[in-house]
Amino acid sequence: MLITGIVLFIFMLSSLLMMSNALQNSEHFGEYYSGLLIFNTLGLVVLVGLILANLRNLIRQLKNKVPGARMTFRTVIMFAFLSVTPVLIVYYFSLDFLHRGIDSWFDVKVEKALDDSLELSRLSLEEREQDILKKTKQIANDFSQISNVAVPFEIDDYRTRLGARELTLMTRQGRFIASSTGDISDLVPNRPNNAILFQVQQGNNYIGLDTIQNGELSIRAVVNVPNMGVESKHRIIQVLFPITGRINELANNIQSAYIKYNELSFLRDQLKFGFVVILTLVVLFSIFSAVWAAFYSAQKLAAPIRNLAEGTKSVAEGDYSKQLPVPGNDELGFLVASFNEMTRRIANARDAVRKSQLEAEAQRAYLEAVIGRLSSGGLVLDQDNRLRTVNISTGQILGTDLNRRLGDRLEDILADYRYLEPLIKTIASYQDSNEGEWREQVTLFGTSGRQILMCSGTSLSLSGLEDSLVHVIVFDDITALIQGQRDAAWSEMARRLAHEIKNPLTPIQLAAERLRHKYLDTLKVAQPETMDRLTNTIIHQVETMKDMVNTFSEYARPPVISRQMVDLNELIREVVDLFINLDPGASITLNLSPDLPRINADLDRLRRVFNNLLKNAFDASTSEKAVALVIETHHIDERGRDFIEVRIKDSGTGLSGDIISNVFEPYVTSKKKGSGLGLAIVKKIIEEHGGVVWLENNPDGIGACAVIRLPVTEADSSTNIGNVMQKDVI
Amino acid sequence: MRINRHSLIRGILYCLPLLVPVAARAQVISVEYATSHVNDGIYQVDIRLKMRLNDEIINALKHGVSLNIDVNLEVRRERKWLWNKLIKEVTLHYRLQHHPLSDDFVVTKLGSGAREQFNNLDEALNYIGAIDNYPLIDKARLSGDESYIGLVRAEINIESLPPPLQPSTLISSRWHLESQWYEWVFR
């Protein structure tokens, strides 16, 4: 478009110059004048076409509200106004000057003077012509006396005397007879044309101005030679007189000036019209070029602004990759370059933020994975005591899914999970005291029994966050660990005790029997009785001690379990029957679940468990009231853990708070009788089966309840029991 | 047949309704006859043109405007299926001027520079219109087996008019004087 415009501009400008030149001097480009006129007209049409096309584009852009269109429009209007107005003013005055100027060329006086000078030239030449005609006639008369044969000898002399350039004698038909010339370059004599010959043939003489000889004026006289002399044929003579020197020059000047002036005068209106046409073409060309240039400039000017608008829109829509072409080194170019730099920096910053976000997310995911796989429970609380983070192990340790309570305050959680009270209170106390790091052992009494948790906590200040202070609490269930340590200690002690005690018992018993046997009969009356009673006491007490030692040994013995599929309901009924027989007045209520699955367990050991527990319950209930027991079995499937729960409720006095936590340890008992190992053995056997057992006071305040939970395992998965147990403990 | 630049421009302008019909101009310049004969191995042509100028042109001539008259000659070989092939093309240029000092009309042959002077316009035009024995083409260039035609036309050369006059010639038909093409057969 630009190149087309520039080429057209150059061509039109050149052709206008050529036209102007042709108008002033037809020798230059005169023959192309019409073509140039047509070309310029067509060029103007093309320019108008270009302008209209631009205008249509601009109107379309205005309608579509393209950025920069209004600015382009205003600039075009301004440019057009600024360029058209002075051009039109100049055009108006130029037209006026043109008319006046051309009219002033032609003056009546000048015209008259030229006419007069031409007339003067003519008169002057005519006078000379008459003189020459007269002389020529005389020579013609002379020639009438000279024969054609003699003429060549005379003719030079006549010409010289006459002062003519050329003297020729010829027939009336124009055939040369003799000729004399003063110019040796003229090889052939000049022949009058047919019209002159015709005139002479009619008997008339000819005298005239000849303009055809080398640009010089000459006077041609053609006269009939009188036909009364020696030659009978009609002859004529022609004389050419040169008009030489100053007269020739002046006459030529006058003639050419006259011709030029006459031509210009004749063409005055056409000349004006021609100039007006050129001036109009120039004006239109200037206006159209200016308007077209205005369009082009305005578009060039608006282009970076349009780009900027589009770029800003892109940035607003979040596309920071937009880079605009820099238009140049001016202020606009600087602005666009700054815009590019800005978007580049924003894009870099965004990429950096995104990268660090991804890194943070990856770090977070990594940490979550690590924390999730930790065997320790972990909680994070914010300043308002709200739960922010809980890991998987927390749910497993506390037996509840706290993930559902994220965002709840600890107090609200406590309302729903009362058994978490020791833990929550401990945490709250440290939060209130604002201690940095803390570590404390907490004991919970949950549905799964007593739990000892080793808690440690700390306050962390996270920079950059509003609620920056958070509390992190990590805890481990060390119940099994402590229990294991205690059990191991007890087992060791029992084993050593049994070993140490058992050895002297047999000699004591043998010694007592021997003493009795040897000295019973030798004693006097009444003494043997005493002897018998004392030795019996020794022997019985030794027996009792042996039993006790055996019990100890059994407690310390490593578990050798003989598993089989056991129906717990049946086992319970069997044991209950035994006790009913022992105490027919007792009331034992059985609420046994009919769909209880069989479990893989050691029948004898479980029987012992129930024996011990029932015995315990009977012992606890031996007061004024009759024994009233309730035995329940349930099949519970809780959070994917499938187990059987057996509850044995007695109607005794219940357990005091300090005993209830240690009742399963050896030698912890509220009874006056007993080894204190019954419940310890129960616990040991239950744990060997991967279960848990605990005692709790009944909610109605009457008696206590022994709760056993045994996992339901497949018959062939006995080898995995250890693992399962461990998993449950953790 | 022959298209030159000026014809093209004029062709465009003929579309304008300002122009009078072509037939009105046909009588002003015409070719009365043209014939060829062999002389010394060269085809020579004799042409007679009849020219009559209108008052506007005569007025311009008498006011110093010189008039260029072109006589276009062509030799073409006749072809059956295609247009006739151009063998030779010649243009004779004449310039007609008025001489105010002598009140004569001067004809200049622009090719040779020869000038002739005439008392009146008709004589000058007759001089231009009488072309005798003009050597057009060597006989040797024309094959005996083919047939050839000669074409002649005369016109006033508008492009040589003074530029101020040219715009008016574009819109006025009075300056467009040209004859029809006259055709003869070479024998």
* Strand ranges inside A172-326, DSSP E: 176-181, 206-213, 216-225, 235-242
Beta bridge partners of B76: B86, B149
Put simply, the answer to whether B165 touches A270 (Cβ < 8 Å) is yes
Compute the distance between CA of residue A665 and CA of residue A683 in angstroms, rounded to an integer.
Answer: 9
Put simply, the answer to whether A255 touches B100 (Cβ < 8 Å) is yes
Q: Is A577 helix (H, G, I), strand (E, B) or coil?
A: helix
Chain B interface includes A249 (CB < 8 A)? no
**Spatial contact of B110 and B49, defined as CB atoms under 8 Å apart:** no
Compute the distance between CA of residue A506 and CA of residue A515 in angstroms, rounded to an integer.
Answer: 14
Q: Read off the pLDDT of each residue in A451-470 and give the average, rounded to a whole number.
A: 77
| pLDDT tens digits along A22-47 | 766 656 666 677 777 888 888 888 88
**Spatial contact of B47 and B72, defined as CB atoms under 8 Å apart:** no
Q: Read off the pLDDT of each residue in B60-86 and give the average, rounded to a whole number.
A: 90
Q: Which residues of A touch B162 (CB under 8 A)?
A: 26, 30, 263, 267
Phi, psi (deg, nearest 5) at residue A672: -80, -30
| pLDDT tens digits along B44-58 | 999 999 998 888 889
Q: What does the pLDDT read at residue B152?
A: 94
Put simply, the answer to whether A34 touches B102 (Cβ < 8 Å) is no
Nearest Cα to A703, choosing from A650, A662, A656, A638? A650
Chain A interface includes B9 (CB < 8 A)? yes
Which of B6, B64, B102 lies at the smallest CB-CB distance from A263? Answer: B64
Which of A208, A262, A273 lies at the smallest CB-CB distance from B102? Answer: A208
Put simply, the answer to whether A267 touches B164 (Cβ < 8 Å) is yes
Compute the distance between CA of residue A365 and CA of residue A604 in angstroms, rounded to an integer.
Answer: 50
Chain B interface includes A111 (CB < 8 A)? no
Beta bridge partners of B95: B68, B108
Put simply, the answer to whether A274 touches B6 (Cβ < 8 Å) is no
Instruction: Output the CA–CA distances (angstroms, integers) from residue A412 to A373, A388, A398, B99, in the order listed.
Output: 27, 14, 16, 132
Q: Which residues of A touch B6 (CB under 8 A)?
A: 34
* pTM for this prediction: 0.52
Cα nearest neighbour of B158 on chain A? A31
Query: Which strands make up the sheet holding B115-118, listed edge to edge?
Result: B115-118, B104-109, B85-99, B67-77, B148-156, B182-185
- Is the confidence at residue A649, as pLDDT, over 50? yes
Which of A195, A210, A267 lies at the smallest CB-CB distance from B123? Answer: A195
| pLDDT tens digits along A559-615 | 567 888 889 899 999 888 888 887 777 888 888 988 888 888 888 888 888 988 888
Q: Is A700 helix (H, G, I), strand (E, B) or coil?
A: coil
| pLDDT tens digits along B154-175 | 999 888 888 888 877 777 788 8
Chain A interface includes B6 (CB < 8 A)? yes
The secondary structure of residue A720, as a DSSP letter, is: G
How does residue B135 score in pLDDT terms, banded at 50, 70 and 90?
very high
Query: Which strands make up the sheet holding A206-213, listed edge to edge?
Result: A176-181, A166-171, A235-242, A216-225, A206-213
Chain B interface includes A6 (CB < 8 A)? no
How does residue A715 score in pLDDT terms, banded at 50, 70 and 90?
very low
Put simply, the answer to whether A32 touches B158 (Cβ < 8 Å) is no
Torsion of CA A663, A665, A667, A668, to 10 degrees: -20
Compute the distance between CA of residue A38 and CA of residue A40 in angstroms, rounded to an integer.
Answer: 5
% residues pLDDT > 70 (chain A): 90
How does residue A355 score in pLDDT terms, banded at 50, 70 and 90?
very high
Instruction: Output the CA–CA distances (angstroms, integers) from residue A82 to A77, A279, A287, A364, A572, in the order listed.
Output: 8, 20, 10, 68, 116
Q: Is A32 helix (H, G, I), strand (E, B) or coil?
A: helix
Compute the distance between CA of residue B69 and CA of residue B95 in angstroms, rounded to an integer.
Answer: 6
- Is the confidence at residue A260, as pLDDT, over 50? yes
Chain A interface includes B101 (CB < 8 A)? yes
* B130-138 vs B42-51, strand pairing mode: antiparallel
Angle, to 10 degrees, between the axis of helix A479-519 and the axis of helix A721-729?
120
Cα nearest neighbour of B105 on chain A? A211
The average confidence (pLDDT) of chain A is 81
Q: What does the pLDDT read at residue A624?
A: 64
Nearest Cα to A682, choosing from A673, A674, A694? A694
A123, burial (CB in 10 Å: exposed 0-12, middle 13-18, buried 19+): exposed
Provide the token pair at A263. Answer: 């031509």
| pLDDT tens digits along A307-333 | 888 888 888 888 888 788 887 778 888
Compute the distance between CA of residue A696 and CA of residue B65 in angstroms, rounded to an integer.
Answer: 143
Residue at token pair 């940095």: A436
Compute the distance between CA of residue A406 and CA of residue A412 in angstroms, rounded to an integer.
Answer: 11
Chain B interface includes A500 (CB < 8 A)? no
Compute the distance between CA of residue A98 and CA of residue A277 in angstroms, rounded to an integer.
Answer: 11
Q: Is A6 helix (H, G, I), strand (E, B) or coil?
A: helix
Put simply, the answer to whether A259 touches B165 (Cβ < 8 Å) is no
Distance from CA of B121 to the nearest CA of A (A): 12
Q: Which residues of A touch B127 (CB under 8 A)?
A: 193
Put simply, the answer to whether B117 touches A210 (Cβ < 8 Å) is yes
List the helix and strand counts (H, then E) for chain B: 4, 9
Chain A interface includes B99 (CB < 8 A)? yes
Put simply, the answer to whether A211 touches B117 (Cβ < 8 Å) is yes
% residues pLDDT > 90 (chain A): 3
Q: What does the pLDDT read at residue A675?
A: 62
Report which of residues A448 and B40 the model is more confident about: B40
B108 CB-near residues (< 8 Å, 6+ apart): B94, B95, B97, B114, B115
How does residue A719 score in pLDDT terms, banded at 50, 70 and 90?
very low
Cα nearest neighbour of B107 on chain A? A212
Q: Read off the pLDDT of each residue in B100-128 and give the average, rounded to a whole number.
A: 88
Nearest Cα to A238, choosing from A167, A134, A144, A161? A167
Query: What is the residue type of B46?
Result: D
Instruction: Output the CA–CA distances (angstroms, integers) from residue A89 to A81, A82, A102, in the order listed.
Output: 12, 12, 20
Which of B102, B127, B164 lies at the smallest CB-CB distance from A23? Answer: B164
Cα nearest neighbour of A24 on chain B? B163
Chain A interface includes B11 (CB < 8 A)? no
* DSSP letters for A374-401: -SSEEEEE-TTSBEEEE-HHHHHHHTS-
- Is the confidence at residue B35, as pLDDT, over 60? yes
Provide the token pair at A726. Answer: 């461990």
- Is the confidence at residue A616, as pLDDT, over 60? yes
